[in-house]
Structure 1
Amino acid sequence: MEKLDICKNVLSNIPDGFIFYDTNNTIIDYNEAFMEIYGLDKKGIELRGSKASDLFKLIKVDKSIKTLVPFFPKKINGDAENAPKQLKTIISRKLNHKVKYIRRITTPIYNDDGKYSGRFCILTDITEVKENENKLKKQKEELLSTQERLRKFNDFIKKIQGEINEEDIYHDALIFLKQNVKANQILIKNIDFDSQRVNIVTSLKPVGDVFIESKEVTHNPSLCYIIRENKPFTVKDINEDYTCRYHIYPQKSGGYICVPISFNSRVQGLIHIFNLEKDYFTDEVVNFVVDVANTISSYIMALKVYKEAHFYATVDPLTEAFNRRFAESFLEKEIARAGRNKAIFSILMFDLDNFKDINDKYGHKIGDITLKMFVNFLKESLRSCDVISRFGGDEFMVILPDTDAGGAKSIIKKIKDELKNKKFILEDDAIINLSTSMGFATYLEDGKTIDDLYLKGDKRLYKMKKSIHSKLLAGR
């Protein structure tokens, strides 16, 4: 055992634990660091002369040690040829409710004649190293999870960026939630504060035995905690947690969340998700749904701003007829379309005859109301494809697609006859009669440009106005 003694002398100077076995797996020697690593009483236990199997029973290897790589060497027959050169293993053991990681290197010992004479093991506590590795692994997994989440959100944002109405954005959000949240029911609702109703905009078809509510839920929105506080509401277990007064599910197990969709700090909608599995709605799931709600609220708000800006850029705010800028842009497109397709169209020019008298008699407020009523009259009299625009004051223009000169004249006669019998009734039951001078112009027949059409339409309009004025003078 000369080599064994040399090894013992060398290993006695290292801080790691070590243990020696002979060819019969009998423990020859070990140090205090070995006992400490395994959590054994250094003074109360004597292992020398014991078998390796006794040690394993003592440290409860069958329950508390998990071998991460093959641990025990093959049966050794006493010759160097069959003995392993070296065996490295990492084992984990629970000690005082904490996991300890141990690196074990087992090395065989041979005599000068090459005969196997035993083995020694060096044990190193690598718990801190493994914990750092596990921490880095977890951080990497979290990073990958975050990257995947950002990728999904990026795809979702690209999808809703192309939508032009709120309903489509809500529907995209529903599909996105369905793909990323485990749910038996998803409802997205909007709030009508005027009618005191919370209406379902879109919903996921129920999965499993889940009750689905009607398209319209009537209650006072101001009594709803989520709407009032503008905060998410989570029920992890409907049997244990406080549930909302508007809880609609008759199931006896599961949980749900309700997340507000807010615009300018005011709740305008809700995302309601139910799951038959209790405790599913962790903080991570809730935060994900909150992110979805915040995302769609941002884009719906942007859509509202865009529509409002587009409205004021194209529509006369008083009468809600199109403005002159939009009408002339539409005319340019209509001229291009007519040129390509050999189509035809006409325009009508309007100028109210007695509008100044109405302003002088009733005031400008009634004058504004009169202009609104006149535009509504035109909308009722004309086709839905006809484009009504206000040029300013009491001047209007209508674009009549696919209408020739004969059609334009017929429409003028129709409007004139209807206007003659139309009574515009004000709030105080006062009755106003309106008359208007009209002129028309037809593409190609009267000109190929906007200026040509305006010129011809104005000439006919003022010809009618002059005729009406002459009749009024003759009647006095």
Structure 2
Amino acid sequence: EVSYLIVKELIPAKDVALWIKAHHERWDGTGYPLGLKGEEIPLEARIIAVADAFDAMTTEKPYREPLSEEEALKRLREGAGTQWDPEVVDVALKTLHRIEKRPELDSFYTVIDRIKNTTCYTTLKLRVLYRIGEEIRNLVNLDRFLHNVLKIVKEVVPADVKLALVLKEKDDLIVRAQVGMPPDVIGIKLPRDRGITRWAYEHCEPVIVNDVEKDPRYFAPPGQEKIGSEMAVPLVVGDKVIGVLDVETTEKNAFTPEDLAFFQMVTTAIAGAIETARLYHEREVAALYDSLTGARSFRYLLDIFGDEKEKAEKRKTPMSIVFIDANGLKSINDNYGHKAGDEGLKAFVRGLEENLRSTDILARYGGDEFVILMPMTDSEEAQRIMERIKEDLSTRYFEVDGIKIPFIEFAYGISEYPSEGTDLEELIKLADRRMYADKNVSRIN
């Protein structure tokens, strides 16, 4: 589908676009994306489908060895009439074979290579766009996806061309992937007031500069190899710029409008996928962390409790569950306002985390209630830890609008796995009841 959307924008290739879109259709009508059947499928698409299948079967993949030519032809024969047009398969069985180079035909191969590097350049670019479409379908890790896209593009550009993908993160433009540049450029923040890439981002316009020395926008990072030409193409989703694809070379006058058109198609293909992947990641993070305090979410605690139980069983060690009620929050809200209450909760969580061990897991249960899971810890040790934390936080203050406010007071209760229960909710209820006893003692005091 992505390849179809890209190719249909190319005027010389408009007829080819439908063939690409339909080459996953099946002769029996069970293919995609249009559900075409038999001769409803364009003949050209039927031919591409067979050739593409043969190529895929006889090409080595990271996850399998290539099939032999005989085995691939056998599978085509088996799929005739169901997956593929039987007449096309019949012709393929008579004509398809792997080309093996022969020394006596070297001059012929030289001519073919010249054609490949000139008149077939556009076809190679279309193949790149198709492969990018495949990467999008398999997108799992965003950084790996960005790197793979640049590696694919690098195959059809001159050897000295360098590529970088720069994404907007909060208020910064940060290099997230590169090919041909020093590895340590990853993570670099671009200047906010200089650079051709920054200009392309701010103006939401692609730009070609074929002699960077004559362009006042150009910024040369310290230690970077001198370049002659630079092209920057924004990644746009709707009316929002999410990043820039930067292309550089040491040669002057290196880039043409045709090059720009190709890179615009690349950015069109990947921009939506990048944004979707980032939104998915943000939702995943949001599900794992509390947005106000930064503590883990209770869902996260539920997810990992089973793993922690298994570890405890293997080690034959206890775990403690601590239930916390930040009961001093109401007083801060009443006396200083809800803004102070929010800041107080954030400071409270930071104070807890500074005192907890790296193995302890702090999660917000809801409102002013928190749960701590303490692996390899019995209830007596957990109590010693919590008393130390209580003493430390009782001496702390946080500031809101220049006003120093004492840390939130809290009460806690503890339950122990497995001696007092094996279910998380059961252990929390027990710790909750004990927390109320602690709260009552505090009131009396």
**Normalised TM-score (structure 1):** 0.58
Structure 1 position 184 matched with structure 2 position 166? no
Cα shift readout 1:70-127 (whole Å, capped 9, x = no counterpart): xxxxxxxxxxxxxxxxxxxxxxxxxxxxxxxxxxxxxxxxxxxxxxxxxxxxxxxxxx
Aligned residue in 2 for 1:431? 405
SS at match of 1:180: coil
Aligned equivalents of 1:445, 1:213: Cα separation in 2: 50
Gaps of 5+ in 2: 1-118
Aligned equivalents of 2:186, 2:279: Cα separation in 1: 32
Q: 1:311 to 1:194 in 2, by over 3 A?
A: closer
Aligned equivalents of 1:213, 1:246: Cα separation in 2: 20
Q: 1:450 to 1:245 in 2, by over 3 A?
A: closer
Aligned equivalents of 1:280, 1:357: Cα separation in 2: 68
Counterpart residue type for residue 449 of structure 1? D
Which residue of 108, 123, 127 maps to 1:148?
127
Aligned equivalents of 1:194, 1:450: Cα separation in 2: 37
Q: 1:144 to 1:238 in 2, by over 3 A?
A: closer
Alignment of 1:8-157 (within 5 A): 145=124, 148-157=127-136
Counterpart residue type for residue 245 of structure 1? R
SS at match of 1:353: coil
Aligned equivalents of 2:306, 2:432: Cα separation in 1: 19
Aligned residue in 1 for 2:191? 218
Structure 1 position 349 matched with structure 2 position 323? yes
SS at match of 1:274: strand
Aligned residue in 2 for 1:358? 332
Query: Alpha-carbon deviation of 1:415?
Result: 1.0
Structure 1 position 291 matched with structure 2 position 302? no
Aligned residue in 2 for 1:245? 217
SS at match of 1:421: coil
Indicate if the aligned counterparts of 2:206 and 2:233 stay in contact, CA closer than 8 A: yes
Q: 1:320 to 1:206 in 2, by over 3 A?
A: closer
**Normalised TM-score (structure 2):** 0.61
Aligned equivalents of 1:214, 1:327: Cα separation in 2: 31
Cα shift readout 1:26-51 (whole Å, capped 9, x = no counterpart): xxxxxxxxxxxxxxxxxxxxxxxxxx
Q: 1:150 to 1:438 in 2, by over 3 A?
A: same
Structure 1 position 455 matched with structure 2 position 433? no
Q: 1:427 to 1:384 in 2, by over 3 A?
A: farther
Aligned equivalents of 1:442, 1:294: Cα separation in 2: 55
Indicate if the aligned counterparts of 1:193 and 1:221 stay in contact, CA closer than 8 A: no
Gaps of 5+ in 1: 1-139, 472-476
Which residue of 225, 232, 241 maps to 1:267?
241
Aligned equivalents of 1:206, 1:455: Cα separation in 2: 56
Aligned residue in 1 for 2:287? 313
Aligned residue in 1 for 2:418? 444
Which residue of 137, 152, 162 maps to 2:140?
162
Aligned equivalents of 1:329, 1:369: Cα separation in 2: 28
Aligned residue in 1 for 2:147? 171
SS at match of 2:294: coil
Cα shift readout 1:156-196 (whole Å, capped 9, x = no counterpart): 3356x121x5x44443333233223224242425367987x
Aligned residue in 1 for 2:83? none
Aligned equivalents of 2:355, 2:395: Cα separation in 1: 13
Indicate if the aligned counterparts of 2:242 and 2:275 stay in contact, CA closer than 8 A: no
Aligned residue in 2 for 1:281? 255
Counterpart residue type for residue 152 of structure 2? F
Aligned equivalents of 1:364, 1:409: Cα separation in 2: 31
Counterpart residue type for residue 298 of structure 1? G
Aligned residue in 1 for 2:202? 228
Size of the aligned set, in residue pairs, is: 323
Query: Alpha-carbon deviation of 1:444?
Result: 0.8
Aligned equivalents of 1:251, 1:358: Cα separation in 2: 57
Structure with the bigger percentage of helix: 2
SS at match of 1:317: coil
Aligned equivalents of 2:237, 2:437: Cα separation in 1: 54
Q: 1:302 to 1:400 in 2, by over 3 A?
A: same
Aligned equivalents of 2:397, 2:226: Cα separation in 1: 63
Query: Alpha-carbon deviation of 1:418?
Result: 0.9
Query: Alpha-carbon deviation of 1:343?
Result: 4.7
Instruction: Give the % identical residues.
Output: 26
Counterpart residue type for residue 136 of structure 2? I
Indicate if the aligned counterparts of 2:132 and 2:149 stay in contact, CA closer than 8 A: no
